[in-house]
Structure 1
């Protein structure tokens, strides 16, 4: 599928509810910079009712220390939290995102990894380890973790317990063809009353907890599965037993492939929203497991007809907030709001801003009147006002630089263009330069399976970026 990036100009448009500016009362002109953070780490944020924020980051590029820190509502570091505003989290890896959630009692739960599997750490509101949880604040689950694509893992809060899932491994650390779902008690021990002696065995890459505390597993068509070649949805009750009233004895299989699924969320109405950020597609699955044909995201119209869709999506009150990266070198990021039917919300439209680096917007927090967003080493706070006038990018009058790639990549990087290529730089999604090549059909078999950003420089001085997947 060919995707070309755009050179953009700015226009002014009238809107009724839109990001209008940064909040100058937050940090420095609405931007908090994590000065000691490495750009290679996936930073995550959660918010308290008083407006303060918890966030994770990897401290420095030469260390493997993952840190949880806290900001006051005005964007200053809360030095009363932990040790001078931060706490070092054990058993986390700089190569994986440190998933972060807040319990109803205010305690912070973080998922990381140790040498044999997944580690769940719980932190008290003052930044101290919760020694009543696991061993010294950490519970370990052996032989589950991330897939080769750095996905298929996570956790959810189920009332006072924790649902943890990950790709299964054998005792020799060989990746198996299924995932395991565990439930932890309040003290961090494995709940043996859950599933089959404490766990569920599923082919699903994505696991959710719905509004009724039931467990829902999404089996994508990305995997080799003869039983469900196009994917399926499995449902279990809150205790991990097959929900026989759902579909065919707990399973609804897809009659055809809904599309590639790189990431997925379950929204507040039990819909599963899926992102294929290779082809820039978003689609939705009904609570009964069928494809929701009433949800249509049109990626053929501006500004979504060019550029790259982020893997992050946030739902609030039935609407979906997404982010995009476009521009000649991927330097322009966008934030947009979709309605419950997948259309761009005309009252919000989109916000765009150009910067110096091609970095995606990560996770977002949507509030009434404000939006928090993570981008690289920075946490932004935007103001959302009514009846405002906003400068946005005009994507309908853009010039194009044409190059297309064989995507997914296999053993060689194959491209098609009428222009002379000077160099091609291959970056990780954390903006780390992995490899530089020039010639068509260059061997890239040494690249691990995953998603990459590719920056192309042409002999005429033009540049463009692409997002590619390596199988």
Structure 2
């Protein structure tokens, strides 16, 4: 929210920094949190996914990453109770073979389970099963609900869409939504990918992580991201993390490793890549980079990344989602489940007035977040328990003007000078352009700006005491 003030005959703009408020939905589960128990034969669940249906019911998917051989799809009603009409008991138990890993996707109101026996990496044995909204196998898909196993269909490299799906192994192969080869795609259903103008003959190192507007997104070896051009889904432009500053870690010895945690396609067409970066000498860090449509990173105070702290047994950020021009990160810090928020310009926001919001949840770690309108769902678990906890919040973004009166004012528009008038003592003034790059850093409250081009700017005012405030201003 922007408000205008007349002060000494000039126009000023109030601080635009914001906070997110989260309120538990007491109608969901037990005072906002639903509990789901998974069977003992699942051993250790190491990833969870949540999908929302048109009737606001939820599909909770639990799986392993090749360490066990059982997965589960459960359905909760919109009130957080187990929907026992789903498959007769509310759950589908997925039984695979030893070394079977699972992945999950959604097509319309139907759930997809992907089984992959990856004990032999070169010839993984994979099958895809589609389930109706009532939990029964959808016999209209593939052959009696199952896409027959084939040795070149590796489960991580399947990209589902509403009208069909692709798989990537050597070539990109297109399928119709019913699981039948789409012979009109490329040459008899297949196309060779082209990356940076170079045809690729062997693509097992790449995997899909999304699709939007007819554009496919890939990652390779965790450190290279590729996006296809519009209307040419097999022509890609890549972005290599190793060529950028956030790949360099001070004190790194023996190389650097990157561990992907989440590729997120934001509504404004940004790619959000949350990853862990390890200099192979300890001290792994959580970091996130934001890429625009041309695969260029946003700048944040002169950096190409946001650092989210160290990874340890007590702390790790695991997932990210978009919410009203903000990014919500979930995980754990100090062995407590945490929600952290940033504005899309890289400025830290608060959650319920806190830099790190720790809920009073029975979980000790958050692994997944889902945003649906103003509803936020977070999935958590507790060490030593076979229970998954799903908490539902109602969320709202408040501007600083709603929660914290401005202590300073900034001239807008400005021309040759930018002036900051403050009710309290200031410490430093920083000016950023729209890319997030800091272009002025000064202790003075009157700053020469004749050299700046016309356009929009963000001004950060640091005070001698108390939190800083951020303002928008315009150079004419």
TM, length-normalised to structure 2: 0.59
Alignment counterpart, residue 322 of structure 2, candidates 315, 321, 329: 315
Unaligned runs of 5+ in 1: 1-14, 147-152, 169-178, 223-230, 244-249, 389-471
1:362 equivalenced with 2:367 (yes/no): yes
Q: Which secondary structure state, in structure 1, belongs to the residue aligned with residue 359 of structure 2?
A: strand
1:384 equivalenced with 2:394 (yes/no): yes
Alignment counterpart, residue 194 of structure 1, candidates 185, 188, 193: 185
Matches within 5 A, 1:111-260: 111-114=114-117, 116-139=124-147, 140-145=149-154, 153-165=156-168, 181-195=172-186, 197-198=189-190, 200=193, 201-202=202-203, 205-219=206-220, 222=223, 231=224, 233-235=226-228, 240-242=233-235, 250-251=237-238, 256-257=243-244, 259=247, 260=258
Change over 3 Å in CA distance of 1:111–1:237 after alignment to 2: farther
1:75 equivalenced with 2:66 (yes/no): no
Native 8 Å contact 1:66 1:93 kept in 2: no
Alignment counterpart, residue 286 of structure 1, candidates 261, 281, 292: 292
Question: How far did 1:181 drift?
Answer: 4.1
Structure 1 match to 2:12 = none
Question: How far did 1:383 drift?
Answer: 2.7
1:344 equivalenced with 2:348 (yes/no): yes
Structure 2 match to 1:462 = none
Question: How far did 1:285 drift?
Answer: 1.9
The CA distance in 2 between the partners of 1:232 and 1:262, in whole Å, is 11
Q: Which has the higher contact order (CA 8 A, sep 6+)?
A: 1
Native 8 Å contact 2:318 2:366 kept in 1: no
Structure 2 match to 1:19 = 22
Question: How far did 1:95 drift?
Answer: 6.2
Question: How far did 1:24 drift?
Answer: 2.9
The CA distance in 2 between the partners of 1:92 and 1:270, in whole Å, is 39
Q: Deviations over 1:331-384 (max 9, x none)?
A: x12112221122222465542136787x53122112344321111232322333
The CA distance in 1 between the partners of 2:140 and 2:174, in whole Å, is 17
Native 8 Å contact 2:338 2:365 kept in 1: no
The CA distance in 2 between the partners of 1:35 and 1:135, in whole Å, is 32
Q: Rg: which structure is higher?
A: 2
Unaligned runs of 5+ in 2: 1-17, 119-123, 194-201, 248-257, 277-283, 382-386, 399-476
Q: Deviations over 1:271-329 (max 9, x none)?
A: 2212222311111222112222258654378x9999633232222344221113222xx
Q: Which secondary structure state, in structure 2, belongs to the residue aligned with residue 276 of structure 1?
A: strand
Q: Which secondary structure state, in structure 2, belongs to the residue aligned with residue 273 of structure 1?
A: strand
Change over 3 Å in CA distance of 1:242–1:326 after alignment to 2: closer
Question: How far did 1:75 drift?
Answer: 1.3
Question: How far did 1:26 drift?
Answer: 1.8
The CA distance in 2 between the partners of 1:93 and 1:305, in whole Å, is 30
The CA distance in 2 between the partners of 1:318 and 1:121, in whole Å, is 36
TM, length-normalised to structure 1: 0.60
Q: Deviations over 1:381-403 (max 9, x none)?
A: 23335699xxxxxxxxxxxxxxx
Question: How far did 1:136 drift?
Answer: 2.2
The CA distance in 1 between the partners of 2:19 and 2:295, in whole Å, is 36
The CA distance in 1 between the partners of 2:33 and 2:292, in whole Å, is 38
Change over 3 Å in CA distance of 1:93–1:286 after alignment to 2: farther
Change over 3 Å in CA distance of 1:164–1:261 after alignment to 2: same
Aligned residues: 332
The CA distance in 2 between the partners of 1:317 and 1:266, in whole Å, is 14
Alignment counterpart, residue 34 of structure 1, candidates 30, 33, 36: 36
Q: Deviations over 1:178-235 (max 9, x none)?
A: x65433212212334435652545376442444321223234575xxxxxxxx46352
Q: Deviations over 1:19-40 (max 9, x none)?
A: 24x4332222322222234562
Structure 1 match to 2:197 = none
Change over 3 Å in CA distance of 1:79–1:133 after alignment to 2: same
Q: Which secondary structure state, in structure 2, belongs to the residue aligned with residue 262 of structure 1?
A: strand
Q: Which secondary structure state, in structure 1, belongs to the residue aligned with residue 288 of structure 2?
A: strand
The CA distance in 2 between the partners of 1:135 and 1:17, in whole Å, is 48
Native 8 Å contact 1:81 1:126 kept in 2: yes
Change over 3 Å in CA distance of 1:219–1:195 after alignment to 2: farther
The CA distance in 2 between the partners of 1:98 and 1:158, in whole Å, is 15
Change over 3 Å in CA distance of 1:346–1:312 after alignment to 2: closer
Native 8 Å contact 1:280 1:308 kept in 2: no
Structure 2 match to 1:273 = 272
Question: How far did 1:124 drift?
Answer: 0.8
